[in-house]
Amino acid sequence: MSSIVARNKSKLIYNQPPILEAVIAVYFSHPIVSNDLIKKEKRLKKNYDLSDIQSNVTIQVKGDSSLEPKFTKGPEQKGFRLLSTDMTKSLQIWPGMFLISQRSPYVGWDFFKERFFRDWNIFFKSNESKEISQIGMRYINRIDVPVKNAAEVIKPEDFLTINPSFPNSLSQIKNFSIQSVVELADIGSQLKLSSQSVPSPIFGYSSLLLDIDIIKNQDLPKSQKALNAYLDIARVKKNAIFEMCITDMSRNLFK
Amino acid sequence: MARYLKPKFLIRDALDEKIIGVYGQAFELRSGEEFLSANWIEYFELPKLDALKNIVSGMKASKLSVSSKGALAVANIANIKSIGKDRKSKIRVEYRPTQGNKSHSGIFNTLNEDTEMLDLLSREAFSELVQIEKLVMLKPVGF
Amino acid sequence: MIQVLFKNPKKDIESLRSPSHVSLESFTRQFDIPVSSYSRVISEITRNCSGTPLSTFSSDEKSIREKLFDAKAMAKIKIAEVSMHLDSKWREKIFRQLDLMHDDADWENDDVPIQILSIVTFLRSLGVIDYKKYPSLGMSNSGYLLAAWFYNENRLTLEFLPIDKVRWVLSIKSEDSYESAAGETQLPVLMSRLSPYDPGQWFLHGNS
- Are residues A105 and C84, on separate chains, in Cβ contact within 8 Å? yes
Among A12, A10, A11, A9, residue whose Cα is nearest residue A246: A12
Q: What ipTM does this complex have?
A: 0.92
Which residues of chain C have a CB within 8 Å of the CB of B116? Answer: 169, 180-182
Buried b (16+ CB within 10 A) or exposed e, B7-20: bbbbbbeeeeeebb
pLDDT above 50 for A119: yes
CB A234 within 8 A of CB A173: no
pLDDT at A4: 33
pLDDT at C51 over 70: no
**Residues of C whose CB is below 8 A from B31:** 110
B-C Cβ pairs (cutoff 8 Å, strict): 87
Answer whether A109's CB lies under 8 Å from A122's CB.
Answer: no
Q: Could you tell me if C72 and C31 lie in one domain?
A: no
| Average pLDDT for C124-147 | 95
Mean pLDDT for all residues in chain A = 89
User: What are the residues facing C136 on neighbouring strands?
Assistant: C148
pLDDT number for residue A72: 85
Mean per-residue pLDDT over chain C, rounded: 77
> Are C124 and C89 found together in one domain?
yes
- A-C contacts at Cβ under 8 angstroms: 143
**Nearest chain C residue (CA) to B20:** C150
Chains that touch B (3 or more CB pairs under 8 A): C
Q: Note whether C159 contacts B28, CB cutoff 8 Å.
A: no
- Same domain? For C98 and C197 the reply is yes
Mean pLDDT of C99-124: 94
* C119 and C14 Cβ atoms separated by less than 8 Å: no
Q: Among the ranges A229-243, C32-46, C102-116, which has the highest mean pLDDT value?
A: A229-243
Nearest to B10 among C108, C138, C178 (CB): C138
Question: What gap in Å lies between CA B46 and CA C37, rounded to an integer?
Answer: 69
Digit-coded pLDDT (tens) for A57-77 = 888 888 777 778 888 888 788
A vs B contact (3+ beta-carbon pairs below 8 A): no
Tell me the average pLDDT across C76-101. 93
Find the CB nearest A18 among C29, C36, C84: C84
Q: Which residues of C touch A201 (CB under 8 A)?
A: 78, 81-82, 120, 123-124
Closest partner CB to C146 (pick from B23, B67, B116): B23
Which residue in the set C105, C110, C138 is minimally distant from B11, CB to CB? C138
The Cα A184–Cα A238 span in angstroms is 11
Looking at the structure of chain C, the number of domains it has is 2
Q: Identify the band that residue C155 occupies on the pLDDT scale cut at 50, 70 and 90.
A: very high
Interface contact flag, C84 A203, Cβ < 8 Å: no
The residue in chain C having the minimum alpha-carbon distance to the alpha carbon of residue B15 is C93
Answer yes or no: is pLDDT of C143 > 80. yes
pLDDT at C49 over 60: no
The answer to pTM > 0.80 is: yes
Mean pLDDT across the stretch C156-185?
A: 95
Assess whether C70 and C42 both reside in one domain.
no
What share of chain A in percent tops pLDDT 90? Answer: 67
What secondary structure, in 3-state letters, does chain C show?
A: CEEEEECCCCCCCHHHHCCCCCCCCCCCCCCCCCHHHHCCCCCCCCCCCCCCHHHHCCCCCCCHHHHHHHHHHHHHHHHHCCHHHCCHHHHHHHHHHHHHHCCHHHCCCCCCCCCHHHHHHHHHHHHCCCCCCCCEEEECCCCCEEEEEEECCEEEEEEEECCCEEEEEEEEEECCEEEEEEEEEEHHHHHHHHHHHCCHHHHCCCCC
**Subunits with at least 3 CB pairs below 8 A relative to chain A?**
C
pLDDT values of chain B reduced to their tens digit, one per residue, 143 residues: 999 999 999 999 988 889 999 999 999 999 999 999 999 999 999 999 999 999 999 998 888 889 999 999 999 999 999 999 999 999 999 999 988 889 999 999 999 999 999 999 999 999 999 999 888 766 555 54
Q: Would the pLDDT of C56 be above 60?
A: no
Residue to substitute from C20, C94, C191, interface A, most A β-carbons within 10 A? C20
Residues C27 and C40 in one domain: yes
Does A217 contact C at CB distance below 8 Å?
A: yes
Contact A115, A98 (CB under 8 A): no
Domain shared by C19 and C41, yes or no:
yes
Residue C113: pLDDT above 90? yes
Residue C208 lies in a domain: no
Of C16, C37, C61, the residue at which a domain comes to its end is: C61
C1: pLDDT strictly greater than 60: no
pLDDT of residue A5: 33
With beta carbons under 8 A apart, name residues in chain A contacting C100: none
Question: Which residues of chain B lie closer than 8 angstroms to C169, CB-CB?
Answer: 24, 115-116, 118-119
C76: which chain A residues are within 8 Å (Cβ-Cβ)?
Answer: 86-87
Domain end (from C61, C80, C108): C61
Domain that holds residue C36: 1-61
C165, C100: one domain: yes
> Measured between CB atoms, does A108 come within 8 Å of chain C?
no
Domain borders along chain B are 2-135
Please tell me the predicted confidence (pLDDT) of residue C5.
Answer: 56
Confidence (pLDDT) at B138: 60
**In which band, very low, low, confident or very high, does the pLDDT at C207 lie, cut at 50, 70 and 90?**
low
From chain B, the residues in CB contact with C96 under 8 A are 16
Contact B14 C141 (CB under 8 A): no
Domain ranges within chain A, ordered by starting residue: 1-24+138-255, 31-59+74-128
**Residue C182: its chain B contacts at CB < 8 A?**
115-116, 119
C83 lies in a domain? yes
Q: Which of A64-73, B18-27, C68-77, C113-122 comes out lowest in average pLDDT?
A: A64-73
The verdict on C156 and C120 lying in the same domain is yes
Please give the DSSP secondary-structure letter assigned to residue B9.
G
Q: Are residues C49 and C124 in the same domain?
A: no
**Does residue A112 or residue A171 have the better pLDDT?**
A112
Chain B residues close to C105, C-beta within 8 Å:
65-69
What pLDDT is recorded for position A127? 61
Task: Using the 3D structure, point to which of C61, C83, C99 is the last residue of a domain.
Answer: C61
Q: Is C133 within the bounds of a domain?
A: yes
The answer to whether residue C108 is domain-embedded is yes
State the nearest Cα–Cα gap between A204 and chain C, in angstroms. Answer: 6
pLDDT at A9: 34
Same domain, yes or no, for C45 and C101? Answer: no
Q: How far apart are CA B12 and CA B9, in angstroms?
A: 10
Which residues have C-beta within 8 Å of that of residue C17, sequence separation ≥ 6? none
Query: How many angstroms separate the CA atoms of A19 and A143, rounded?
Result: 9
Q: Let me know whether C125 and C89 are in one domain.
A: yes
Is the CB of A134 inside 8 Å of chain C's CB atoms?
A: yes
The reply to whether C131 and C192 lie within a common domain is yes
